[in-house]
Amino acid sequence: MDMLLLAELSINGVFVGLMYALVAAGIVLIYKTSGIANLAQGALAMMGGYAAWAFTAMVGLPIWLAIPIALAVMFLAGVALERFALRRMVGQPIIMVIMLTLGLEIMLRGVLPGLFGSAVKRLDVGIPNTPLFLGDLFLNRATLIGGSVSFVLILLAIAFFNSRLGIIMRAVSDDQSASWSVGIRVERAIAIAWGLSAMMATTAGVLWGATQGVDWSLSLLLIKALAIAILGGLDSLPGVLIAGIIVGLAESLATGILDPIVGGGTRDVVASVIIVLTLLLRPHGLFGREHIERV
């Protein structure tokens, strides 16, 4: 194995992992505030990609205007999702809530390609397609930029949890009824968390759309995001950052090293193996709080 290829795989892997981590951060944000694992996060990313594409290609807006509008629309969509679907499920068993988000995922996966056509949409955000040569290293420019943007956004999300609204959300995640009694509007905090998480998903959808085009396969980000969220600990944003890098590295190295041996397909299974190993060895993840009920 020559070192150059290894270095190339590692660097690309780290940045791809950071892009996965952006989707995972949305899952963590929702889990932190409302204790619900959102299995529709992949579909939200896909929806964001489609929204940005629709505003550029169908409405004809320039891309710098289309992305903020898509973000705003998706924020509202996230809030609406919480208000009209998730809030009705309060008090139901967790299995029902998980199934509801899975149902949303399936529905969006059908509705969006069905309405906009299932062919791959090109989303041009102005990143040139030419690869970047760093010495002898061959790097993908879209991945580099996407990874860096994700990194900054996740840092912003961590900082956000130290702002006033972020502290409110931390209080809600700690104890909903206690926050109620000190005058925090719990429903509003949860709705905002959904909106923010939908916005994060949109950014991820746009970044991924810029690298590989917008189509239904964006919703497959879900399994990778879940692996990252579980490995990092479902309620830890810094964990997402670290776990994202780990998962991205593992996936990239497995694809580069194992694929020639077993004949392809390892990319999809790395995330699953990480999920199973985490659950068996350290169910609360690397940085999560150890509060999983055990029986």
Partner 1 sequence: MFYRRAGIRHTRYQDERQLWPLPFDRRLAILIFLLALAAPFIVDRLYLVSYLLPWIIWSTAALGLNFLMGGAGQIHLGYGAVMAIGAYCSVHMVRAGVPFEIAMIAGGLLSAAVGMIFGAAALRVKGLYLAMATLAMQYIVDFVIIQFPAISGGTQATIQVPRVSFLGVPIVGDRPTYYVALFVCVVVTLFMLNVRRSSFGRALAAVREKDYAAAVIGVNTFRYKLLAFWVSSFIGGVVGSVLAVCYYRAISPDQFHLDLSISLVAMVIVGGLGSVLGSFFGAALILFAPILLNQFVGFLSSEFGLAITSDLRSHLPLMLYGAMIVGFLLWEPLGLAKIYANMRNYFLVWPFRHARQ
User: Can you tell me which of 7, 57, 72, 89 binds partner 1, judged by CB under 8 A?
Assistant: 89
Per-residue binding letters, 48-87, with partner 1 (x by CB under 8 A)? -------------------------------------x--
DSSP string, the chain: --HHHHHHHHHHHHHHHHHHHHHHHHHHHHHHHH----TTHHHHHHHHHHHHHIIIIIS---HHHHHHHHHHHHHHHHHHHIIIIIGGGTTS-HHHHHHHHHHHHHHHHHHHHHHH-SSPBP---S--SSPEEETTEEE-HHHHHHHHHHHHHHHHHHHHTTSHHHHHHHHHHH-HHHHHHTT--HHHHHHHHHHHHHHHHHHHHHHHHHHH-BSGGGGGHHHHHHHHHHHH-TT-HHHHHHHHHHHHHHHHHIIIIIHHHHTS-HHHHHHHHHHHHHHHH-TTTTTS-S-----
- Counting contacts by CB under 8 A, is residue 103 touching partner 1? yes
Stretch that binds partner 1, among 45-53, 108-116, 160-168, 187-195 (CB under 8 A): 108-116
**C-beta closer to partner 1: residue 193 or 207:** 193
**C-beta closer to partner 1: residue 62 or 103:** 103
Stretch that binds partner 1, among 53-61, 126-134, 187-195, 270-278 (CB under 8 A): 270-278
- Counting contacts by CB under 8 A, is residue 94 touching partner 1? yes
**C-beta closer to partner 1: residue 146 or 239:** 239
> Closest Cα partner for 207 from 221, 186, 197?
221
- Counting contacts by CB under 8 A, is residue 122 touching partner 1? no
Count the site residues for partner 1 by CB under 8 A: 50
Report, in Å, the least distance between residue 86 CB and partner 1: 10
Per-residue binding letters, 220-259, with partner 1 (x by CB under 8 A)? ---x--x---x---x-------------------------
**C-beta closer to partner 1: residue 1 or 115:** 115
> Which residues would be at the binding site for partner 1 (CB under 8 A)?
37, 39, 85, 88-89, 92-96, 98-100, 102-111, 113-115, 117-118, 223, 226, 230, 234, 262-263, 265-266, 268-269, 271-273, 275-276, 279-280, 283, 292-295
